């Protein structure tokens, strides 16, 4: 006989990226505008609890449903989400940094080792070729771009800027290498099928997460190129708004959390630059982007809770052979 198995996809770790990003925005907003610091810490606490649940589910899948885990890690698109497991562990360093520095360092080192190992293995395998170009989507940024920027953010937050800049460079030049490839695919190959369209939200993340990563490892007034990169992220947001009705042909699903890391980084970057003395356009846009970010995140949380209540959050069960 065969048993239906429902497992939590690795892509669910994207929720943690968004929650930690939102918590980071609130931490900066508390310093900049005097907002209640408890809000940011509460969001970080929620992120920590979600991380515990998803990490337990992730390892349970590898122990109890290894076939499903192996299928995911070898899938040409879904494989890239697996790197979010160690990356989210690195983000726990950001969560814990103000409260438990030593534990935060452990999370940073452990997550960084896992992310580098996975990124080298997965992206190295992609370089062997024989890939269908239609499987090249913004998800490809996750192993080599997002993961390294996240390590840079964690390292800078904990006071290791020499390591932070190293990983910032890895993420930055990987982004430069991949950006034109992803845009070429979106322009010239068949349209993304509706279930994959929300993942285009990842396209917003590289420039603005790069800004946050660089700011985490530097001090003083932000350089003009940092401000320019934030502006490039802003135009990515406008392009995604232009695609809103095309994207939302896919009913709400956890894949919509692909927007969360980029939109929260857009907010955090603007707030940090304002805090460091940037005036003019970015400082004027910072409160608008902060409010918009909170609205987007509220919509994602509500959508997730509704789907959970409906029993539709997890993908359909996969039929696997029953154990003897």
Question: Is pLDDT of 5 > 70?
Answer: no
**115 near 151, Cβ under 8 Å?**
yes
Q: What is the DSSP letter of 257?
A: G
Distance separating alpha carbons of residues 96 and 189, to the nearest angstrom: 43
Q: How many domains does the chain have?
A: 1
320: in domain = no
Q: Which residues pair with 90 in a beta bridge?
A: none
Cα 288 from chain centre: 22
316: in domain = no
> Where does the pLDDT of residue 320 fall: very low under 50, low under 70, confident under 90, or very high at 90 and above?
very low
Highest mean predicted confidence (pLDDT) among 38-47, 69-78, 189-198, 246-255 = 38-47
48: left (phi over 0), alpha (psi -120 to 50) or beta: alpha
Residue 203, CA atoms < 13 Å, CB-side half-sphere: 27
Residue-level pLDDT at 190: 87
1: in domain = no
> CA angle at residue 214 from 211 to 218, to 5 degrees?
135
Mean pLDDT of the chain: 93
Residue-level pLDDT at 316: 64
> Where does the pLDDT of residue 179 fall: very low under 50, low under 70, confident under 90, or very high at 90 and above?
very high
Q: Considering only residues 4 and 64, tell me which one the structure prediction assigns the higher pLDDT.
A: 64
Range of the domain at 63: 8-310
Question: Is pLDDT of 317 > 60?
Answer: no
138: in domain = yes
Section 285-292 average pLDDT? 98
Residue-level pLDDT at 133: 86
Q: What is the pLDDT of residues 144-156, one digit of tens each?
A: 999 999 999 999 9
Cβ density class 250-285: b for 16+ within 10 Å, e for less: bebbbbbbbbbbbbbbbbbbbbbbbbeebeeebbeb
28: in domain = yes
Q: What is the pLDDT of residues 104-125, one digit of tens each?
A: 999 999 999 999 999 999 988 8
The CATH number of residue 92's host domain is 1.50.10.150
Q: What is the pLDDT of residues 15-54, one digit of tens each?
A: 999 999 999 999 999 999 999 999 999 999 999 999 999 9
76: in domain = yes
Q: What is the pLDDT of residues 182-231, one digit of tens each?
A: 999 999 998 999 999 999 999 999 999 999 999 999 999 999 999 999 99
3: in domain = no
> Where does the pLDDT of residue 322 fall: very low under 50, low under 70, confident under 90, or very high at 90 and above?
very low
> Where does the pLDDT of residue 6 fall: very low under 50, low under 70, confident under 90, or very high at 90 and above?
low
Question: Is pLDDT of 94 > 70?
Answer: yes
321: in domain = no
> Where does the pLDDT of residue 132 fall: very low under 50, low under 70, confident under 90, or very high at 90 and above?
confident
């Amino acid at each position: 006989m065969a048993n239906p198995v429902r497992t939590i996809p690795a892509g669910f770790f994207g929720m943690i990226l968004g929650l930690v990003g939102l918590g980071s925005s609130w931490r900066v907003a508390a310093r900049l505008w005097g907002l209640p610091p408890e809000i940011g810490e509460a969001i970080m606490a929620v992120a920590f609890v979600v991380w515990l649940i998803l990490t337990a589910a992730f390892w349970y899948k590898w122990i109890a449903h290894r076939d499903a885990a192996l299928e995911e890690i070898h899938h040409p698109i879904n494989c890239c989400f697996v790197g979010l497991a160690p990356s989210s562990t690195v983000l726990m360093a950001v969560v814990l940094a103000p409260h438990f520095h030593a534990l935060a360092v452990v999370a940073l080192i452990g997550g960084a080792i896992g992310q580098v190992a996975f990124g080298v293995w997965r992206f190295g395998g992609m370089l062997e070729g024989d890939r269908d170009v239609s499987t090249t989507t913004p998800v490809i940024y996750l192993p080599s771009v997002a993961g390294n920027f996240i390590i840079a953010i964690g390292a800078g937050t904990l006071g290791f800027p020499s390591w932070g800049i190293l990983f910032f460079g890895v993420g930055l030049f990987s982004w430069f290498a991949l950006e034109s490839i992803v845009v070429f695919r979106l322009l010239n190959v068949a349209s993304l099928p509706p279930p994959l369209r929300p993942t285009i939200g990842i396209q917003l993340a590289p420039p603005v997460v790069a800004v946050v990563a660089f700011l985490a490892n530097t001090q003083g007034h932000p350089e003009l190129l940092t401000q320019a990169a934030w502006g490039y992220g802003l135009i990515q947001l406008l392009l995604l708004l232009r695609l809103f009705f095309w994207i939302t042909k896919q009913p709400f699903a956890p894949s919509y959390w692909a927007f969360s890391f980029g939109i929260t980084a857009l907010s955090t970057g603007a707030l940090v630059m304002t805090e460091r003395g940037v005036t003019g356009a970015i400082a004027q846009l910072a409160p608008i982007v902060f409010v918009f970010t909170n609205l987007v995140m509220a919509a994602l949380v509500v959508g997730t809770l509704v789907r959970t209540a409906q029993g539709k959050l997890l993908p359909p069960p996969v039929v696997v052979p029953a154990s003897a």
